[in-house]
Copies of this chain bind each other. A is one copy, B any other.
Amino acid sequence: MEESDTKHDCGEHVSPDNCGQPMHQLMSELFPICRSITGNGVRETLRILQRHVPITVFEVPTGTKVYDWTIPKEWNIRNAFILDRDGNKIVDFNTNNLHVVGYSIPTDKIVSLAELQKHLYSVEDQPDAIPYVTSYYEERWGFCLSHNQRSKLEEGPYRVVIDSDLKEGFLSYGEMLLPGESRKEIFLSTYICHPSMANNELSGPVVTAFLATWIASKPRKYSFRIVFIPETIGSITYLSRNLDDMRKNIVAGFNVTCVGDERAFSYLPSRKGSTLADKAALNILTSLHPEFIQYTFLERGSDERQYCSPGVDLPVVSVMRSKYREYPQYHTSSDDLSFVTSSGLQGGFEVLRDCIELIEKNTIYRVTCLGEPQLGRRRLYPFIGTRDTHRYVSDMMNLLAHADGNNDLIDISNIIRVPVRRLYPLVENLVAAGLLEEVS
């Protein structure tokens, strides 16, 4: 069963240079929803995103074989709490949805403290934080709470109530296809399967939605394939239905995750390490964020695990801010709306926008004359000689010297050590002057 739903509001006018605040606002709206790899939380998240971008929603039934996996039962939860012997609600799903282990089966029983402890999860060295725990493929129930709270629990009995369903249903995901001049595609993938966490969940779909709006607003060389999916089982499901097209068309892809805090920029390569996505990401990060952290594929942990698996081999990298597993707030209640900021989101948006822009503009050029062109008679550079115009002329001569019909723009930027942003207007002027031509 597939349902298409395309109400959205693409008419909004947000400057791509200043969209941190509206991104943070969208994130705040999505934050309270209890998402998991299936269920109504995913659907509601997609519905809110559809107000911004024209996402088509797909529903794949429980039991469907997807490569080595099977779509699990659908999980939904309405309420959950723990009552102490005085009837006080000491743990409450309604105050923080991280309190319940994801995919907990329905429960309503009286237990001793000893019995309860077997179902509790906390983190000793982060005593104030509620950890995030799931059990998708083994049926159990449990609660997460701060270590401080846990250590103060007195003897029971306790009543534990989890009002959830785990039954035949669907896995939901969203897809958006934006046709361009070419059928070749740039691919963006982000995940929507974690409950209330900000950097390692909502920064991804929010930045992706705003990238989609920006992409949709301009003429495009490449087509774009943009997906909002549950991690792992969702990407495997998506691949199992689209791999042939993806392998034929995708020239570069980005797994959009952890793009919202204000700390590092970081990069996780594709398995092969030298795809167009890698080239673009390394060029942008090296020139704009030279302090970025370069991870190896051994440190992977998101959907590049599927996209770069043998036989799939898509050119997908991750360009992130603080990488999952590498910051203390990761997978706890501290990864919240204050940890991710407007300015952090803006930075995450921009670095991905710059990578996409670079891939869109990346072309092999060839200079049209032998020997250096005589720039003087063409007035291709400003009249007043300053340090800036000197740099301008030097950039232009270096660009021309390496536009040999083999180097693409990324190669030239790397060789002549000039950020691509400074090359774009030069290329435009030189093409207009007939001195550069595209090599097809």
Q: Are B239 and A370 in contact (CB under 8 A)?
A: yes
A11 at the interface (CB under 8 A from B): no
Q: Are B298 and A417 in contact (CB under 8 A)?
A: yes
Q: Are B67 and A369 in contact (CB under 8 A)?
A: yes
Chain B minimum-CB-distance residue to A232: B372
Chain B minimum-CB-distance residue to A297: B401
The 8 closest A-B pairs by CB, nearest first: A310-B404, A68-B369, A68-B373, A236-B371, A67-B371, A306-B371, A69-B374, A137-B376
Q: Write out, one digit per residue, whether chain A residues 83-94 have a CB within 8 A of any chain B CB (1) or not (0).
A: 000000000000
Q: Are B398 and A310 in contact (CB under 8 A)?
A: no
Q: Write out, one digit per residue, whether chain A residues 396-440 have a CB within 8 A of any chain B CB (1) or not (0).
A: 011011111100000000001100000000000000000000000
Chain B residues within 8 Å of A312, by CB: 370-371
Q: Which of B306, B370, B400 contacts A243 (CB under 8 A)?
A: B370
Chain B residues within 8 Å of A240, by CB: 370-371
A305 at the interface (CB under 8 A from B): yes
Q: How far is the CA of A68 from the CA of B375 in the complex (A)?
A: 9
A271 at the interface (CB under 8 A from B): yes
Known: A240-B371, A298-B416, A305-B401. 20 other contacts (CB 8 A): A67-B370, A68-B370, A68-B371, A68-B373, A138-B376, A232-B372, A235-B371, A239-B370, A243-B370, A271-B401, A298-B417, A305-B372, A306-B371, A309-B371, A309-B401, A310-B366, A310-B403, A311-B367, A312-B370, A312-B371
Q: Are B372 and A310 in contact (CB under 8 A)?
A: no
Q: How far is the CA of A372 from the CA of B305 in the complex (A)?
A: 7
Q: How far is the CA of A67 from the CA of B137 in the complex (A)?
A: 70
Q: Which of B137, B239, B370, B398 contacts A371 (CB under 8 A)?
A: B239
Q: Write out, one digit per residue, whether chain A residues 240-258 have a CB within 8 A of any chain B CB (1) or not (0).
A: 1001000000000000000
Q: How far is the CA of A404 from the CA of B417 in the complex (A)?
A: 35
- Copies of this chain present in the complex amount to 3
Tell which of A236, A305, A374 has the most Cβ of chain B within 10 Å: A374
- Would you mind naming 16 contact pairs between A and B with Cβ atoms under 8 Å apart? A67-B369, A67-B370, A68-B370, A68-B373, A69-B371, A69-B374, A137-B376, A137-B377, A308-B401, A309-B367, A309-B371, A310-B366, A310-B367, A310-B404, A310-B405, A312-B370
Closest chain-B Cβ to A425's Cβ sits at a distance in Å of 20
Q: How far is the CA of A67 from the CA of B306 in the complex (A)?
A: 53
Closest chain-B Cβ to A396's Cβ sits at a distance in Å of 13
Q: Which of B297, B309, B417 contacts A372 (CB under 8 A)?
A: B309
Q: Are A298 and B372 in contact (CB under 8 A)?
A: no
Q: Are A401 and B310 in contact (CB under 8 A)?
A: yes
Chain B residues within 8 Å of A300, by CB: 401
Q: Write out, one digit per residue, whether chain A residues 356-389 have a CB within 8 A of any chain B CB (1) or not (0).
A: 0000000000110111111011000000000000
Chain B minimum-CB-distance residue to A69: B374
Q: Are B374 and A309 in contact (CB under 8 A)?
A: no
Closest chain-B Cβ to A146's Cβ sits at a distance in Å of 22
Chain B residues within 8 Å of A137, by CB: 374, 376-377
Closest chain-B Cβ to A55's Cβ sits at a distance in Å of 23
